[in-house]
Structure 1
Amino acid sequence: RFFTGGSTTMRGFPFQELGPLDGSGDPVGGNTLLLGNLEARYPIYKKLGGVVFLDYGNVFPDEFDFKIDDIKYAVGTGLRFDTIVGPLRVDFGYTLNPEPNIDRFQFFLSIGHAF
């Protein structure tokens, strides 16, 4: 099953919180995933860089339940600092069309490229 949301997929949503939910509101994943990430990186100073991004997608129960109106969008900005183990990433995402009970703003700190 597919799950999405978090620092490597949809940065406007918490980790694996986007998509179908069970009766108690817990994510159950789905059999169809639509996901796209656009990221523009630019240098700031020496090993420090910045990014702006657009993430879009969702998880659907199966291929026949796919609806274009259910695609979610997130935009944001971040910083990258090159280290010997890969870039240290700080990202701030904002969901343009959030799910109920999910904060529009998300913050992520991670190491390595998102994709």
Structure 2
Amino acid sequence: VEEYGNDEDVRIFDRLFLGGARTLRGFRYRHAGPLDETGEPIGGKTLLAGTAEYTFPIIQPIRGALFYDIGNVWSDAFDASSEFYSDAGFGIRFDIPAFPVQLDYAWPLDTPKGIEGRSGRFNFSLGYEY
């Protein structure tokens, strides 16, 4: 993400964020990336993230899941370092046709300096991922 026109910086609502039920599930919502001096997320201009997830049938329509997430958000555009946030966890999926339900538990594996402790997090989500 880069500045637009004569703007000196990217507006907060145009910045990139990671953390939460759809990205890095072991971290607080939007807290995997740059934070201000009070610990609040400020987002960044470069994002790199990936997920590996294995699902398996339990009983129809319930599936189990094992996953690993990795990624980071950096303050400057096109300025990525080798420091990443990562987490792993397990979950359960309810394959309901109109709105699938997902419940996960994840804990941070690699936590860059300055982020909250290593306790796990529950995440709940409804609907399809795009």
TM over 0.5: yes
Highest Rg: 1 or 2? 2
Letter in 2 for 1:28: I
Letter in 2 for 1:95: P
1:113/1:41 Cα in 2 relative to 1: closer, same or farther (>3 Å)?
A: farther
1:3 — aligned with what?
17
Structure 2 portions without partners, runs of 5+: 1-14
Establish whether residue 35 from structure 1 lines up as the match of residue 49 from structure 2: yes
Aligned to 1:38, the other structure's residue is in SS state strand
Establish whether residue 13 from structure 1 lines up as the match of residue 27 from structure 2: yes
- 1:80-99 equivalent positions in 2, closer than 5 A: 80-99=93-112
Structure 1 portions without partners, runs of 5+: none
Overall identity of the aligned pairs, in %: 38
* Aligned-residue RMSD, C-alpha: 1.6
Which structure has more RCO (C-alpha within 8 Å, separation ≥ 6)? 1
- 1:61-76 equivalent positions in 2, closer than 5 A: 61-63=75-77, 65-68=79-82, 70-76=83-89
Aligned to 1:86, the other structure's residue is in SS state coil
Deviation at 1:79, TM superposition (A): 0.1
Comparing 8-17 with 82-91, greater Cα deviation is found at: 82-91
Q: Do the aligned residues in 2 keep the contact of 1:13 with 1:102 (CA within 8 Å)?
A: no
- 1:46-65 equivalent positions in 2, closer than 5 A: 46-63=60-77, 65=79
Selected match of 2:90 from 77, 81, 95: 77
